[in-house]
């Protein structure tokens, strides 16, 4: 299996599909998942002539189960290490949820001159936690509850979380038990410390300045029934901060990329990649 090793000795696993001479698309996964969450989109990219790359964030999937460095700046630095190791240029970035924050931070701090397009789906920027300046956000007590659930019974917590994640608590949901089981499986592969520490990173990191720095085309996608990342505090604010952005809200779409939402999103992603 391919790995790169960062300056602090962390091994980052990555997948690399398609033509190695083609334009690269890098996929960044959400919490608490791994690069496997992007398999459908990676195949779509590779089948359409792109080089599809996805990594397991440190502490997740097959990467080192780190105790230190589980923070957004280090996540972005790890991605930079991968980009430099593979000498990637003309990069298209795609990030879901926490991964949306990661690619935005990477593009703003490391990607100038290398990144040409960005797409996010259900992404956490600009900031999730509720405050006086972000009244549409989610109260800190909700994130404290996530941490408590992880500490008390991570396995059952992930099983329960898969319901709002994919919107299976909504009438007419067609998301299978298999999809929910895959969420649980990928979550349980992650290191315990990383799972816990990442909650603070996806909820309290302020990406406002990062979004304002971006001048490449950015496609901001989100299900309008996202029960994990409220659109009013995320995509609907992010679009106002970027210079060259397009926002699309998908009616009835959940947070997890699956079902009819995935099918429509993938069509739009392919069109954006080729544009």
Task: Give tens-digit pLDDT for 127-147.
Answer: 999 999 999 999 999 999 999
* Residue 176 bears catalytic tag: no
Mean pLDDT across the chain: 98
Is pTM, for the whole model, over 0.85? Answer: yes
Taking CA atoms, 41 is separated from 104, 105, 202, in Å, by: 19, 22, 23
Radius of gyration of the chain, Cα coordinates, nearest whole angstrom: 17
φ/ψ region of 210 (left if φ > 0, alpha if ψ in -120 to 50, else beta) reads: alpha
The pLDDT-based confidence of 74 (bands split at 50, 70, 90) is very high
Residue 162 pLDDT > 80: yes
Say how far apart CA 17 and CA 185 lie, in whole Å.
23
* Residue 78 bears catalytic tag: no
Residue 158 pLDDT > 90: yes
Say how far apart CA 228 and CA 235 lie, in whole Å.
13
Q: What fold characterizes domain 3-274?
A: Rossmann fold (3.40.50)
pLDDT tens by residue, 184-230: 999 999 999 999 999 999 999 999 999 999 999 999 999 999 999 99
* In the chain, domain spans: 3-274
DSSP letters, 202-239, are HHH---HHHHHH--S-EEEEEETT-SSS-GGGTHHHHT
97, 162, 203, 235: which is the annotated catalytic residue? 97
78, 197, 210, 226: which is the annotated catalytic residue? 226
* Residue 97 bears catalytic tag: yes
């Amino acid at each position: 299996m391919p790995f790169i090793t960062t300056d602090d000795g962390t091994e980052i696993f990555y997948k690399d599909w398609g033509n190695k001479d083609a334009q690269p698309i890098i996929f960044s996964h959400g919490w608490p998942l791994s690069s496997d969450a992007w398999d459908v989109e990676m195949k779509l990219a590779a089948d359409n002539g792109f080089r599809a790359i996805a990594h397991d964030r440190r502490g997740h999937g097959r990467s080192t189960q780190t105790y230190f460095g589980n923070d957004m700046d280090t996540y972005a630095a790890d991605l930079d290490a991968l980009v430099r190791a593979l000498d990637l240029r003309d990069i298209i970035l795609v990030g879901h949820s926490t991964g949306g924050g990661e690619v935005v931070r990477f593009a703003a701090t490391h990607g100038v001159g290398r990144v040409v397009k960005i797409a996010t789906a259900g992404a956490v920027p600009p900031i999730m936690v509720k405050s006086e300046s972000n009244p549409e956000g989610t109260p800190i007590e909700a994130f404290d509850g996530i941490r408590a659930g992880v500490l008390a019974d991570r396995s059952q917590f992930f099983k329960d979380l898969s319901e709002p994640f994919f919107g299976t608590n909504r009438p007419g949901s067609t998301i299978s038990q298999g999809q929910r089981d895959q969420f649980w499986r990928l979550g349980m592969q992650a290191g315990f410390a990383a799972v816990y520490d990442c909650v603070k990173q996806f909820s309290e990191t302020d990406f406002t300045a990062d979004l304002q720095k971006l001048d490449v085309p950015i496609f901001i996608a989100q299900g309008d029934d996202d029960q994990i990342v409220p659109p009013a505090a995320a995509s609907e604010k992010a679009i106002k901060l970027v210079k060259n952005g397009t926002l699309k809200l998908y009616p009835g779409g959940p947070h997890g990329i699956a079902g009819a939402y995935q099918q429509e999103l993938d069509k739009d992603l392919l069109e954006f990649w080729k544009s």
